[in-house]
Structure 1
Amino acid sequence: MSYEMIGITVLWLFLFGYIIVASIDFGAGFFSLHAKLFGESKKVNGLIQRYLNPVWEVTNVFFVFFFVGIVGFFPDTAYYFGTALLIPGSIALILLAARGAFYAFENYGQDSKLSWLMIYAVSGLLIPAALSTALTISEGGYLIRTSNDHVDLNWVALLLSPFGWAVVLLSIVSVLYISSGFLTFYAARAKDWKAYVLVRKWFLMWGAPMIMVSLFVFLSLRVQNKTHFDSAVFEYGWLFIISFIAFLIAGMLTYLKKAHGIAFLFVMIQMGTAFFGYGLSKLPYLLYPYVRIDHAVTNDNMAVGLIIVFVLGLVLLLPSLALLLKLFVFDKAYVRGRK
């Protein structure tokens, strides 16, 4: 396997880890606001806070690794995406700062005001929506390289793009789907049956929109980038079939109120196979038609050094996260609110 393939594989693993961990966090904020507005806070807020308190500080570590790595491995991405993502990236950073402020007020303040909770909830949906524009732009047709070697973004085309809005909608629905799936498992483990009834209903409710929006993304991708669409369907379609089967298994187990841990494992398999199917079918391009992994990769010595550093980072990060989950999130006494 070439250096660029090893590099993009490691980076894709970091990005997938961020998608799962951050989605649980982002969706939990929305569900907290929903419960407060409908007078159901007492049912779920304790469960959500027990998960977030030990985990929220490490959520963005995965994203930082990916961001640093993608620029380190493939420097051309900084050149092309730098201008294009200036506005959505800035919005995402501001919203991340707002979420950090909420955590501070929540943990150390006198009370939790509705206004802060609304910022926390809305930012959890807007951050993935803003970041998802990178995937839209990477499909080509939005960046224009001028004769003087300057890169411009066609904002009108981006704002009017059906594919772009489909990706934004998928990012929001995915957050709510993943988060409700995890909270269902977490509530069952905590034997918090009031919360369980509510979050299980949310998970089952978001299942159908998840599939419908995913199908819409596929159909709009055919118009946006037929080469990528054909590769996804004819070369890696088996990964998306596995994803759909995993979706059915997760939904059936949850509907039958059985094996919620296995159900959430299938949710991760569902998202992972679809995510890697998307990534593999796009190769060798990172950004159509300008950036290819076999042309934009850094020199061999730098690539080897980055691979070693990021593999070691992955080796350290995953056991650390597993230990954190074991000591707090999945500890029987902690998860049931006894400590």
Structure 2
Amino acid sequence: MNLEILGMGVLWLFLYGYMIVSSIDFGAGFFHFFNKISRKDHQVNSLIQRYLSPVWEVTNVFFVFFFVGIVGFFPSTAYYFGTALLVPVSISIVLIAIRGSYYAFNTYGAKDSRIYSFLYGATGLLIPASLTIALTISEGGYVDVSNGQVRLLYGELFTSLYAWSVVILAIISVLFISSAFLQYYAHKAGDDNSYQLFRRYTLLWSLPTILASGLVFIGIRQHNPEHFSSMLDIWWIFGLSFLFFALVVYLSYRGKRLGTAFVFVMLQFFSAWFGYGASHLPWLLYDELTIYDGFVNQTMAWSLIAAFIAGFLLLIPSLYLLMRLFLFDAAYIRGERK
């Protein structure tokens, strides 16, 4: 394995971590608002708040690591993606700021209103939708590079089946991952009403998840046949992802081994995520930029890899301690300790 692939693998692992942790957070925010307007907040919102309170501050750590790393390993991405994504990323930053404002108001005792809850829930779906534009444009055909300028082709982007299929999959995946975790969390807390509700949500969003995944395959086949062919070469990885998905649905339906079911959720998305990433190599931006273009020198690469592995090894125990001390502490999970 060469340095370029190793560096990209480390970054992809951080982005996967962000996808899982933030999906739980984003989905919980949407469910918080949805349950409030559907008058089910008395059942579940206290449980959602118990999860969100200690977690929201560390959610973006994975995200920051990835963006620092992608520019560190592949400086040329700043030119191509930085210019093309200036507007979409600015929108994402504004949405993250709005979401952070909700946390601040809620933490310091401001009265919880429907407006705050709406912004909180809406940003939970809009942030992942806006961030997926980076993955979308990496398929090529959405960026014009001419006369030394990089320009995002909004017309092609907004009329593309593939672009919209990725947005749909991102939103549905957030809801599926979050509901699968919260059903386990509610069961662990002994909150049967919340557990039954999130169990229904998990089963409800399971079919749209697999349909949206199929739509993405159709979109890639139409937009980028070369990438689609590469995905077919490693079809077994996506078949493994589907197997994990089937196990999640089975265990959720039976109401057994819900912790294992969520592990299968993580494995489901791990398989699909790394299958997509592996089939995308060596391209960072199709027809314009590969992982071998403008890669940092060997000394800098090894330093970055060591730093990021050390950061990952520090982050994982920190999350473990967070879960032991708060999320899965017997008194905290039942709402007896704040």
Specify the TM-score bucket, using the shorter chain as the normaliser: over 0.9
1:98-247 paired onto structure 2 within 5 Å: 98-146=98-146, 148-233=147-232, 235-247=233-245
**1:225-274: CA deviation from partner (whole Å, max 9, x where unpaired):** 111101101x2111100000000001000000000000000000101100
2:273 is paired with a residue whose SS is helix
Percent same amino acid among aligned pairs? 53
**1:40-92: CA deviation from partner (whole Å, max 9, x where unpaired):** 00111111011111110000000000000001101111110112111110111
Q: State the Cα distance separating 1:294 from its structure 2 match.
A: 2.0
Q: What letter matches 1:154 in structure 2?
A: L
Q: What letter matches 2:172 in structure 1?
A: V
Instruction: Give the Cα separation in 2 of the matches to 1:152 and 1:58.
Output: 34
Aligned residues: 337
1:294 is paired with a residue whose SS is coil
Q: Does the 8 Å contact 2:10/2:308 carry over to 1?
A: yes
Q: What letter matches 1:189 in structure 2?
A: K
Question: Which runs of 4 or more aligned residues in structure 1 lie more than 6 Å from their structure 2 counterparts after TM superposition?
Answer: none
Instruction: Give the Cα separation in 1 of the matches to 2:98 and 2:25.
Output: 14
The answer for the alignment partner of 1:73 in structure 2 is: 73
1:81-92 paired onto structure 2 within 5 Å: 81-92=81-92
Instruction: Give the Cα separation in 2 of the matches to 1:170 and 1:297.
Output: 31
Which of 17-26 and 75-84 deviates more? 75-84
The RMSD of aligned alpha carbons is: 0.8
Q: State the Cα distance separating 1:291 from its structure 2 match.
A: 1.2
Q: State the Cα distance separating 1:321 from its structure 2 match.
A: 0.8
1:271-282 paired onto structure 2 within 5 Å: 271-282=269-280
The answer for unaligned runs of 5 or more in structure 2 is: none
The answer for unaligned runs of 5 or more in structure 1 is: none
2:284 is paired with a residue whose SS is strand
Q: What letter matches 1:29 in structure 2?
A: G
Q: State the Cα distance separating 1:331 from its structure 2 match.
A: 1.1
The answer for the alignment partner of 1:97 in structure 2 is: 97
Instruction: Give the Cα separation in 1 of the matches to 2:287 and 2:324.
Output: 45
Instruction: Give the Cα separation in 2 of the matches to 1:31 and 1:115.
Output: 15
TM-score normalised according to structure 2 size: 0.98
Instruction: Give the Cα separation in 1 of the matches to 2:112 and 2:46.
Output: 13
**1:168-189: CA deviation from partner (whole Å, max 9, x where unpaired):** 1111001000000000110111
Q: State the Cα distance separating 1:295 from its structure 2 match.
A: 2.4
Q: What letter matches 2:7 in structure 1?
A: G
Which of 255-264 and 150-159 deviates more? 150-159
Q: What letter matches 1:221 in structure 2?
A: I
- Among 250, 253, 256, the alignment partner of 2:254 is 256
2:293 is paired with a residue whose SS is helix
TM-score normalised according to structure 1 size: 0.98
Instruction: Give the Cα separation in 1 of the matches to 2:257 and 2:322.
Output: 23
1:12 is paired with a residue whose SS is helix
Instruction: Give the Cα separation in 2 of the matches to 1:38 and 1:149.
Output: 52
- In the alignment, is residue 3 of structure 1 matched against residue 8 of structure 2? no
Q: What letter matches 1:214 in structure 2?
A: S
**1:189-245: CA deviation from partner (whole Å, max 9, x where unpaired):** 111101011111111000000000100000110011111101101x21111000000
Q: State the Cα distance separating 1:18 from its structure 2 match.
A: 0.2
Q: What letter matches 1:252 in structure 2?
A: Y
The answer for the alignment partner of 2:267 in structure 1 is: 269
1:44-59 paired onto structure 2 within 5 Å: 44-59=44-59
Q: State the Cα distance separating 1:296 from its structure 2 match.
A: 3.1
Instruction: Give the Cα separation in 1 of the matches to 2:221 and 2:58.
Output: 37
Instruction: Give the Cα separation in 2 of the matches to 1:229 and 1:156.
Output: 23
Q: State the Cα distance separating 1:111 from its structure 2 match.
A: 1.4
Q: What letter matches 2:122 in structure 1?
A: V
Q: State the Cα distance separating 1:142 from its structure 2 match.
A: 1.0
